[in-house]
Structure 1
Amino acid sequence: MKEVIAVVRMDMMNNTKKGLTESGIDSFFAHEAQGRGWGFVNRKLIEGVEEGYEEAAALLGEKGKLYPKRMITVVVEDDKVDDVVETIMACNRTSKPGDGKIFILPVADGIRIRTGETGKKSIE
């Protein structure tokens, strides 16, 4: 099993939910999140802030703020990972900075609390 974690724009969430459902992925989690990528931040200013320079903090201004995002978590069998990734990419690609990121992690096991089922049965 694999866990696919995607961080996407807030305004793309409905499109993503629809795409996942149409792809046969009905079970997933969505969390409110905040974050930013390196493209939005001047690294030299960040270094100045970390060193305690007030001028750098003042110059950082709005570029240092966190942006609202959605974090989607999907646990699927290994053979469905590519479909999930392709769907999320298709639903969220605007070709502009801020489209998001996708991470794929191994999952050792899953347990359905209600029945005690484990492994593949826990996510079916």
Structure 2
Amino acid sequence: MKEVIAIVRINMMNQTKQALTDCGVDAFFAHEAQGRGVGFVSPAVLEGAVQGYEEAAALLGEKGKLYPKRMITAVVEDSMVGCVVETIINTNQTGLPGDGKVFVLPLTDAVRVRTGETGVKSIS
């Protein structure tokens, strides 16, 4: 089993949900998140904000250097990882900064609380 974590733009969430469902992933979590990537904010804008220029501070937004995003978490069988990652990339890739990231983590086990089932049975 693997845990796939994706950070995507808010406006791409509905398309991503539909694409994941089409790929065969019906169970996942979506969380509100804030963050930014390396180099997403111009150093000149940051310097201007530090120096007190209102225009530069406005470019950073009300929440400072953090931008609203959505974090999607899905636990899938190993055989599904390729489809899930490819689906997320194809749905969210614009070629511009801020398209997001996908992380794949190994899971040693999962347990369904209701039945006590473990492993792949607990996620299907």
TM-score normalised by the chain length of structure 1? 0.85
Q: Following TM superposition, by how much is the alpha carbon of 1:40 offset from its aligned partner in structure 2, in angstroms?
A: 1.8
Show structure 2 runs of 5+ residues with no match.
none
Q: Following superposition, which runs of at least 4 residues in structure 1 exceed 3 angstroms of deviation?
A: 42-46, 55-60
Question: Higher helix fraction: Structure 1 or Structure 2?
Answer: 1
Letter in 2 for 1:121: K
2:52 corresponds, among 54, 58, 61, to 58
8 Å contact 2:20–2:26 — kept in the other structure?
Answer: yes
**Contact 2:92–2:99 (8 Å) recurs in 1:** yes
Give 2:15's aligned residue. 15
> Retained in 2: the 8 A contact 1:45–1:57?
no
Please say if residues 7 and 72 of structure 1, whose CA atoms lie closer than 8 Å, have aligned partners that are also in contact.
yes
Match of 2:29 in 1: 29
Cα RMSD after superposing both structures: 2.1
Letter in 1 for 2:102: I
Question: What percent identity do the matched residue pairs reach?
Answer: 61
Unaligned runs of 5+ in 1: 49-54
**What's the secondary structure of 2:105's corresponding residue?**
strand
Q: CA deviation at 1:45?
A: 8.2
User: Alignment length, in residue pairs?
Assistant: 118
Cα distance per residue 1:80-108 (max 9 Å; x no partner):
10000000001101111100000011111
Match of 2:3 in 1: 3
Distance in structure 2 (CA, Å) of the matches to 1:57 and 1:102: 35
CA contact (8 A) 2:10 2:69 kept: yes
Distance 1:36 1:11 in 2: 16
Counterpart residue number, 1:79: 79
1:90 is the counterpart of 2:90: yes
TM-score (norm 2): 0.85
